[in-house]
């Protein structure tokens, strides 16, 4: 039972799971359902990346300091007793970094293969985040091209997909193929990250974080922040369509990836965030409120999705449903109307 397990757990391991529950709304439950060995590896992988992201997200840390921490993350996570107490008081996960030695301690208990996967991804992500934090400090437009946008999303989410797939294969619960098909793993991360970046337009802009690529928004307005001005409403909706189109192009890969997963618990862990992402894209699409507040799917809808996303047929059903929602909202006067119809058609074809 759960209490029996916990009785033999070290203080630091218990604290790690408390932090998982404190810092993640969407992943905590599904991670804890995974089989024992994999569960600890994924929990610690999560906390390693959550710590890194807490440094990346804090706009009160001076840029030189931030970059130096991001670039040395791989060494930091093997440095006994390392912690960080200088996050701004508004940083929601600052306590994790205050007590970071518990994560560093528990990482030591993982087997070598899992550790190597986690360290390798942490190193790449920290350096990628540092590149973009530096760019953000010098380029007031933020991310420039669509290619840069893909690259940023690769660093912060594609790499998570690669790392998780390697962990799944290393556990023996999934075939080596899951780890080998890197394009599909990267798309799993990009689909989540892109839905997140579109949804967080306003929140990120308020923090002066600009992830929407200039190559896209410059076709509609002179500055990213102009999108929220009511005088540019029509352009704003069209730009939003373009961003949604870009994200939707990853959906077929996600369905293919999920169709290759065999373990029930790994399936739930992978599928739940993906169905939330397609549902999110469906409510964001053609929705001007994106520029006025943080649009979120309703609690009840989230609950239904979590309960349903337990096998590939149901997941296909969910993707079909939200694709229909998008097709219904698609507007023939939108410059991307045709491309969006095609992207939706491709999702339905891969269903
Ligand atoms: C290891 C479970 C399942 C093959 C902390 C899960 C930022 C969207 O952008 O802070 O800061 O607003 O809300 C999760 C692929 C990553 C991608 C990533 C690690 C799925 C730090 C999640 C999660 C790949 C980098 C939300 C990508 O954070 O976003 C584990 C397969 C962390 C996954 C960031 C973003 C996650 C995210 P933001 P949030
Ligand atoms: Mn971030
Ligand atoms: Mn974040
Ligand atoms: Mn975000």
User: Model ipTM?
Assistant: 0.94
- 53, 97 in Cβ contact below 8 A? no
CA of 57 to the centre of ligand 2 (A): 5
Determine the residue of 160, 171, 181, 257 to mutate for testing ligand 1's pocket, defined as the one with the most ligand atoms within 8 A of the Cβ atom: 160
Mean pLDDT of 222-240: 98
Place of tokens 């006994």: 80
pLDDT at residue number 4: 57
pLDDT at residue number 89: 87
Which ligand ends up closest to the CA of 50? 1
Evaluate if residue 140 carries a pLDDT over 90: no
Q: Give the active site residues.
A: 152, 199, 209, 269
Place of tokens 């989540």: 192
- 351, 255 in Cβ contact below 8 A? yes
d(CA 213, CA 147): 9
Place of tokens 């946008």: 149
CA of 160 to the centre of ligand 1 (A): 7
CA of 279 to the centre of ligand 1 (A): 17
What number does the ligand 1 atom closest to the CA of 189 have?
24
What number does the ligand 1 atom closest to the CA of 195 have?
8
For the whole model, what pTM was predicted? Answer: 0.96
pLDDT at residue number 133: 96
Q: Which of the four pLDDT bands, split at 50, 70 and 90, describes residue 346?
A: very high
Mean pLDDT of 216-239: 98
Q: Whose CA is nearest to atom 26 of ligand 1?
A: 193
Which ligand ends up closest to the CA of 42? 1
d(CA 288, CA 283): 10
- 231, 191 in Cβ contact below 8 A? no
pLDDT at residue number 171: 98
Ligand 1 cavity residues, CB under 6 Å: 27, 42, 45-46, 49-50, 53, 57, 156-157, 160-161, 164-165, 185, 188-189, 192-193, 196, 200, 270, 273
CA of 187 to the centre of ligand 1 (A): 13
d(CA 249, CA 258): 16
Sorted by sequence, the CB contacts under 8 Å of residue 97 that are 6+ apart come out as 51, 54, 55, 83, 84, 85, 87
Place of tokens 């959550």: 50
pLDDT at residue number 8: 86
Mean residue pLDDT of the chain comes to 96
- The encoded tokens of residue 239 equal 């730009």
Determine the residue of 53, 96, 188, 197 to mutate for testing ligand 1's pocket, defined as the one with the most ligand atoms within 8 A of the Cβ atom: 53
pLDDT digits (tens, 9 = 90+) for 165-177: 999 999 999 999 9
Evaluate if residue 290 carries a pLDDT over 70: yes
Mean pLDDT of 84-96: 92
% of the chain residues with pLDDT over 90: 94
CA of 254 to the centre of ligand 4 (A): 20
What number does the ligand 1 atom closest to the CA of 45 have?
1
């Amino acid at each position: 039972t759960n209490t029996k397990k916990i009785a033999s757990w070290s203080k630091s391991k218990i604290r790690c799971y408390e932090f998982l529950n404190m810092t993640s709304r969407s992943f905590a439950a599904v991670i804890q359902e995974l089989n024992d060995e994999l569960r600890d590896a994924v929990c610690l992988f999560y906390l390693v990346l959550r710590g890194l992201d807490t440094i990346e997200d804090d706009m009160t840390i001076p840029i030189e300091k931030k970059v130096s921490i991001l670039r040395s993350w791989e060494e930091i996570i093997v440095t006994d007793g390392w912690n960080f107490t200088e996050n701004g008081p508004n940083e929601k996960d600052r306590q994790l970094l205050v007590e970071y030695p518990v994560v560093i301690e528990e990482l030591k208990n993982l087997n070598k293969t899992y550790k190597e996967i986690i360290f390798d991804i942490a190193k790449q992500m920290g350096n990628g985040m540092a590149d973009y934090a530096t760019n953000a400090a010098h380029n007031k437009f933020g991310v420039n091209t669509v290619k840069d946008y893909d690259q940023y999303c690769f660093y912060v989410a594609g790499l998570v997909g690669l790392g998780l797939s390697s962990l799944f294969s290393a556990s023996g619960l999934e075939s080596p193929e899951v780890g080998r098909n890197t394009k599909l793993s990267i798309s799993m991360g990009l689909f989540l990250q892109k839905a997140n970046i579109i949804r967080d337009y306003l929140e990120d802009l308020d923090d002066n974080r600009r992830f929407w690529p200039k190559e896209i928004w410059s076709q509609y307005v002179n500055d990213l922040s102009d999108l929220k001005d009511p005088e540019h409403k029509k352009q704003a909706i069209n730009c939003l369509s373009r961003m949604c189109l870009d994200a939707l192009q990853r959906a077929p890969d996600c369905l293919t990836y999920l169709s290759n997963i065999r373990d029930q618990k790994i399936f739930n862990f992978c599928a739940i965030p993906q169905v939330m992402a397609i549902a999110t894209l469906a409510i964001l699409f053609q929705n001007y409120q994106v520029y006025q507040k943080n649009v979120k799917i309703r609690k009840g809808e989230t609950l239904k999705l979590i309960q349903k996303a337990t096998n590939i047929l149901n997941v296909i059903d969910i993707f079909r449903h939200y694709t229909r929602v998008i097709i219904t909202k698609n507007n023939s006067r939108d410059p991307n109307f045709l491309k969006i119809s095609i992207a939706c058609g491709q999702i339905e074809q891969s269903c």
